[in-house]
Amino acid sequence: MCGIIGAVAVRDVVPILIEGLKRLEYRGYDSSGLATINGEQLERKRAVGKISKLEAKLKKKSLSSKIGIAHTRWATHGKANQANAHPHFSKDNIAVVHNGIIENHSKLRETLEKAGYEFSSDTDTEVIAHQIHYHLKQGKNLYAAFLASLAMIEGTYAIAMISPLMPDSLFAARRGSPLIVGIGVGEYFLASDAAALISVTQRVIYLEDGDIVELQRDNMTITDMAGNPVERIEHISKLQADAVERGEYRHYMQKEIFEQPQAIIDTLEGRIHNGRVLEAAFGPNAGELFSKIEAVQIIACGTSYHAGMVARYWIESLAKLPCTVEIASEFRYRKPLPNPKALVVTLSQSGETADTLAALAETKRLGFGPSLAICNVPESSLVRASDLVLMTHAGPEIGVASTKAFTTQLLSLLMLTVVLARRRGMTAETENQIVTAIQSLPRQIEKMLTLNDSIEKLAEQFADKHNALFLGRGIHYPIAMEGALKLKEISYIHAEAYPAGELKHGPLALVDDKMPVIAVAPNDDLQEKLKSNLQEVNARGGQLFVFANHSSMKQGFDYINVIETGEVDEIISPIIYTIPLQLLSYHVALIKGTDVDQPRNLAKAVTVE
């Protein structure tokens, strides 16, 4: 998704802007650009593709300035080309960068065109620049023109603006897209993501929706849309520079897969005591809120949605609470019947997914019960909008394909299940058994990671494939879905997941000797049933790749690869079986030579609808 970085300082800000853009690369983008003020002139460089292309342009003709804004663009309105890359100018005295979507941009554009403005891009952003200029022409000062333009915009935005009319001020505004001020010594920064500021400051202010900020070298003013001053608290960002470095690993995704044992340890820290999950880990008033709930409504997108689907099996079977799981983009428009006794659980790595935020807002509007966010980014919009919070301490996840965020979400959901189940009569003995299994997770994940080399070899058999089918049953069906999502996301192989019992109702028609069928087959109550489903594949010549506890699965099959996992405790087996599927998609993508960390067309945090 788009990223913003801005700076006003006593030193040259161009290297800071470039460094910030590089740190935003993981969000996904297709072009980038920056604008600075030189004397009374705006200057700009833009390039399609990687930041290195922008750097190459800067090498040819360098820019230097004490104020500037920069942007990585992920196309929404208009193609990924240089004309559409930000910053956008109006009449060479307004430069803006923008994240979000201006819903009424066509109408605004029409009016501005009638007023004589010529557009040089297809973007919704350019209307903002011209709109500000238009208000200037009506006699307003720059701040007033900025405010008047924001008032006309329908939709979401994080906007930064500079102008030679006030060459020492950087203006910005936030509504629905994250924006952070970084505080330096005699300098200020602006970014859409704390990661972009890591090399310049840890002191940050998270702007709220409706905030307008003016940054000067030695001064910051934050107001609301009516121009009234507002106070915002300063935080110390916990992001460490080395946490977002790749180190010895070839890709962030690989690093993040191998970091999972530590991510689990960090997520467990302080949450378990004397064999019990601490209810207070969910917030000081968790006990009071949990005591009133009679149902659970989970809402999330993508991988986070798959985590929610796993949790439904745990919550219904152990906590005996009805649990519904829904994709946020569907939920928000479905007109669901409100249940004031339902705990709304939102799951999100980024905490900035627009659909999840909107769905949460919808539950509040409709009158659902209290909300709990399970999230990986502290101070994110989702965290701030929720009554209760459980942070997954996975550390920054840079690879677009979610890995450690997923397994730590699962762990968090299992801890939630235990807390809810205890209130509904789960015995201390059962809780103790689950906690023991939970505590064995880092060791068991380490063991799964030793499958890396054999999975690397296995991946060779997928290199020429165009399709793949993933099968699972019960709680492992969502794990099959997650495996399919990982494979399609980074290797571009079309992959579908089915509950294995559903094969004969249609998908079996796809199976022939060219179709790899990957099955998640742990030693549980459904293993025998799954085996019969796999026989249906075998009989049609399908190539089976089965993740199972034991190689005895092989018996009775013609073409089968069994990847032995060893015995796994049933309650944590969805978490454990995720690991080999992540490794499989990673190695297939390596062989196919795709951009593993930034797969085409995708963004890390989907901050637009």
Residues of this chain that bind ligand M6R (CB under 6 A): 301-304, 348-350, 353, 356, 400-402, 485, 489, 605-606
Q: Of 189 and 586, which has the nearer Cβ to ligand M6R?
A: 586
- 207 or 606: whose CB is closer to ligand M6R? 606
**Gyration radius from the chain CA atoms:** 26
Min. distance of Cβ 352 from ligand M6R in angstroms? 7
Neighbouring residues of 539: CB distance < 8 A, sequence distance ≥ 6: none
The C-alpha atoms of residue 377 and residue 392 are separated, in whole angstroms, by 8
Question: Going by C-beta distance under 8 Å and a sequence separation of 6 or more, which residues neighbour residue 288?
Answer: none
Annotated catalytic residue 79: no
CA distances to 290, 336, 360, 483, 508 from 367, in Å: 16, 11, 11, 35, 43
> For residues 353 and 408, which CB has a smaller minimum distance to ligand M6R in the complex?
353
Q: Among all residues, whose Cβ is closest to ligand M6R? A: 302
- 604 an active-site residue? yes
Least separation in angstroms between residue 349's CB and ligand M6R is: 4
- Least Å distance, CB 329 to ligand M6R, is 10
Of 23, 17, 175, the residue nearest 95 (C-alpha): 17
Q: Which is nearer to ligand M6R, 29 or 146 (CB)?
A: 29
- Dihedral pair phi/psi, residue 222, rounded to 5°: -115, 130
- CA dist 312 and 331 (Å) reads 17
Q: In what order do the strands lie in the sheet with 342-348?
A: 323-327, 295-300, 342-348, 371-375, 388-391
Tell the residue number behind the tokens 């005996």, with chain if given. 320
To ligand M6R, the closest distance from the beta carbon of 580 in angstroms equals: 16
In angstroms, what is the minimal distance from the CB of 374 to ligand M6R?
10
Q: Indicate the residue among 93 and 376 with the shorter CB distance to ligand M6R.
A: 376
Where do the DSSP E strands lie in 328-477? 342-348, 371-375, 388-391, 467-472
* Catalytic choice (2, 301, 323, 375): 2
Note the residue count of the chain. Answer: 609
Task: Rank residues 156 and 356 by Cβ distance to ligand M6R and give the closer one.
Answer: 356
Residue 417 C-beta: closest distance to ligand M6R, Å? 20
Residue in 22, 66, 404, 604 annotated catalytic: 604
Task: Supply the DSSP symbol for 117.
Answer: P
As measured in angstroms, the least distance from the Cβ of 389 to ligand M6R is 15
Closest to ligand M6R by CB, 65 vs 303, is 303
**Cβ contacts of 361-365, under 8 Å, gap ≥ 24:** 361/385, 362/331, 362/332, 363/297, 363/299, 363/338
Rounded CA separation 223/407 (Å)? 40
Catalytic residues, which ones? 2, 604
